[in-house]
Copies of this chain bind each other. A is one copy, B any other.
Amino acid sequence: MNDAALDEFEAAHAEPGEVGVVVPQDYVSDEPFTFDCGRTIPGFTIRYETYGRLNATGTNAILVCHALSGDHHCAGIHHLTDRKVGWWNNIIGPGKALDTNHYFVACANVIGGCQGSTGPLSTDPETGRPYGINFPIVTINDMVRAQERWLRALGVTQLHAAMGGSMGGMQVLQFGITFPGFVKRMIAMATTARESAQAIAFNEVGRQAILQDPDWADGNYATGGGPKVGLAIARMMAHITYLSDASMARKFGRRTVAERPRSGAAAATVPTAGATDTESHAFDAQFEVESYLRYQGKSFINRFDANSYLYITRALDQFDLAAGSDSLEAAFAPLEARSLVVGFTSDWLFTPEQNRAIAMALLRAGKNASYAELTTDLGHDSFLLESPQLYDLVRDFLTS
C-alpha cells in the first residue's frame, strides 16, 4: 500500500488479524523482456498486491506465487462489502503464519496471465489488437524472471522467502535456481519438479476442449467472448484433479440435487453449464457433484481467459527442472536458499512421492532442505485449506 490515506482507512477498518481492504497495483516495465522462447516484447505490466511494509533494507519480503487459476489477490478484500477474501487469506495477515506485522508479503499475477498482467489479452503494440495466440510461449522461468524485475523495482533486495503451491511451487523452485542469491528461503508445496504424463494428459484434454470450441476462433475472439463452453469443460475436469475421491465422497457422495421423477420422459430443454433446478431432463444435474462442477465451470469462465489457460497449462507441461541438467540434483546445484517442501497424502495430481523427490534431490545436492508430509484426504487443494499444522510448519520455517 503506497497510498498513505488508504493505509489509514485500512488500518481503521481492518478486522484484527486481517489485512483488510487492499488495492491492486500495477508495475510497468519499459525495458524489453525476452522470453525463453527467444521472442521479445518491448515491456510488460505486472499486477500485484502487497500486505505489510517493506523494511529499510528491503529484506523482509515474502513472495507468494499463485497456481494455474490463481491471481495476485491472495489476501484481504477489495471493498468493505466484499465477502470474498483473497485465495490464501487464511495464511496471510497480522499474526498469521505469513505475519504482515513482520513481513512484506507480495503476490503478482504471472506474465501470460489474465488478471491484469501482460498476457494474451493484452494489446500487441505491433498490431494494436490483443496478442491472442501470437503471445510468446511462456515458461515458468519467464514468470519468475518477470517477477524478479518487479520485486527489484519494489525495493526488495533479497526475498526472506518465496512460497507457493502447485504451479506456485514450481515458480518457487525455479526462482531459487535462476536467482540463487536473491532467495533466502523456499517453501514449495503440492508441487513437482516436472509435470508427469498423466498431468500433461489432463491439461491436454482441457486445451482440446478450448481449441475445438468453435468460439475459440483461432484464438481471435473478442475480449469477454471466446470459448466459454470449452473453458468450462476444461475447468470442470481440472477441478476433479484438485480434489480427492475421499473428499468428494464425503462432500457429495451420491446425494441427488432433489428428488425428481426419473421417468426418462425427455424434455426439450438443452442442459447448460448453469442448469437450474427447473429442468427435468435425464441429463440435467442429478447428483450434487454434477451441480457443483457445473457451477465451478460457469464461474470460471467469468474470471479467466481461455488463451491464458492454454499458455499457462503449456508452461506447466513444459516444466522439467532437470531438463537441462544431468539430474534434478545437478539442476539444484546453484541454489543457495534453504528449503521446505510439503506434500499432502491425498494429492494425486502432484503426489507426495513427487514432493519427496524434490526434497531428496535438494539433500543429495547438499542443500539445507526438509520435507513434511501432511496427512489429509482433501487432495491437491489441501495446500489452500485451513491447516494449523501447515501454519506451524511455515511459521517455524520462516523464523529459522
Q: Please list the residues of chain A having a beta carbon within 8 angstroms of any beta carbon in chain B.
A: 35, 37-39, 133-137, 194-198, 200-202, 204-205, 207-209, 211-214, 218-219, 229, 232-233, 236-237, 240, 243-245, 248-249, 251-254, 262-266, 268, 270-273, 281-283, 285-287, 289-290, 293-294, 297, 310, 314, 317-318, 320, 348, 351
Counting from the closest, the 10 A-B pairs by CB-CB distance are A137-B264, A37-B264, A197-B248, A204-B290, A197-B252, A212-B229, A198-B245, A136-B264, A197-B289, A133-B266
Which chain B residue lies CB-closest to A209?
B233
CB distance from A40 to the nearest CB of B (A): 11
- Which of B198, B263, B293 sits near A39, CB closer than 8 Å? B263
Whether B254 and A200, one on each chain, are in contact in the complex, defined by CB atoms closer than 8 angstroms, is: yes
Nearest CB of chain B from residue A246's CB, rounded to whole Å? 9
Q: Is there an interface contact between B245 and A314, defined as CB atoms closer than 8 Å?
A: no
Given known A208-B233, A252-B197, A264-B35, contact A310–B283 (CB-CB < 8 A): yes
**Which of A133, A297, A348 neighbours the largest number of chain B CB atoms within 10 Å of its CB?**
A133
Instruction: Return the contact of A264 from the options B39, B202, B271 (Cβ within 8 A).
Output: B39
Set B35, B200, B214, B281: member contacting A287, Cβ < 8 A:
B200
- Name which residue of chain B comes closest to A265, CB basis: B39
Contacts of A211 in B (CB 8 A): 270-272, 283
Q: Are A273 and B137 in contact (CB under 8 A)?
A: no
**Bound Cα distance from A158 to B155, whole angstroms:** 82
Residues of B within 8 A of A283 (CB): 133, 207, 211, 310, 314
Q: How far is the CA of A218 from the CA of B270 in the complex (A)?
A: 6
Minimum CB–CB distance from A347 to chain B (whole Å) comes to 12
Kindly name the residue among A197, A214, A266, A270 whose own CB sees the greatest number of chain B CB atoms within 10 A. A197
Complex partner residue of A314 from B196, B282, B348, B351, CB under 8 angstroms: B282
In the complex, besides A197-B248, A204-B287, A207-B283, 5 extra interface pairs with C-beta distance below 8 angstroms are A197-B252, A204-B289, A212-B273, A233-B233, A254-B320
CB pairs A–B below 8 angstroms (11 shown):
A39-B264, A133-B281, A196-B249, A197-B248, A197-B287, A201-B289, A201-B290, A211-B272, A212-B271, A262-B318, A287-B317
Q: CA–CA, A35 to B268, complex, Å?
A: 21
Closest-by-CB residue of B relative to A270 is: B218
Q: Are B233 and A205 closer than 8 Å at their CB atoms? A: yes
Q: Are A236 and B197 in contact (CB under 8 A)?
A: no
CB of A380, distance to nearest CB on chain B (Å): 13
Whether the pair B297, A208 counts as a contact (CB closer than 8 A) is yes
For the complex, what is the distance from the CA of A170 to the CA of B205, rounded to whole Å?
28
Do B212 and A263 have beta carbons less than 8 Å apart?
no
Q: Are A197 and B254 in contact (CB under 8 A)?
A: yes
